[in-house]
Amino acid sequence: MIQTELEREQILEALAKVAFSKPNDAIALALHPDKLSGSLDLWGVAEFKRGGGGTIEIKFADRVKAISLLLDALGGGEDGMSALLDALDCCESELSDS
């Protein structure tokens, strides 16, 4: 049971990262791949392609769907929203620590 709960928490954290990832790092990677250093937030990127002639295609994950899945997993309604906000606070503090 503990393993299942741990896996559930990891899934919820990953969903939160996808749902609230910003596109900045993906766009910076596309425009200046040689100038980046450090870790990149690419959780929201579903697909990244470089084509001939210098074309770049970035597809992002469906953030609305990720938020919906988070709400469903956390019980939906007002209780689910409160749980989601609590989980996001926790996730945000972990991301800022790293």
- Residue 27 pLDDT > 80: yes
Rounded CA separation 79/71 (Å): 9
pLDDT for position 17: 93
Residue showing tokens 């596109």: 23
Asked if 22 contacts 44 with a C-beta cutoff of 8 angstroms, the reply is yes
Which amino acid, residue 63?
R
* Mean model confidence pLDDT for the chain: 83
Environment class of 90 (CB within 10 Å of its CB; exposed 0-12, middle 13-18, buried 19+): middle
Q: Which DSSP state fits 23?
A: S
Q: 22 in helix, strand or coil?
A: coil
The domain ranges of the chain are 2-97
**What is the pLDDT confidence band of residue 5, given thresholds at 50, 70 and 90?**
confident
pLDDT for position 70: 85
Q: Which residue has the higher pLDDT, 7 or 86?
A: 7
| Helices (H), ranges, the chain | 2-20, 24-31, 63-73, 77-97
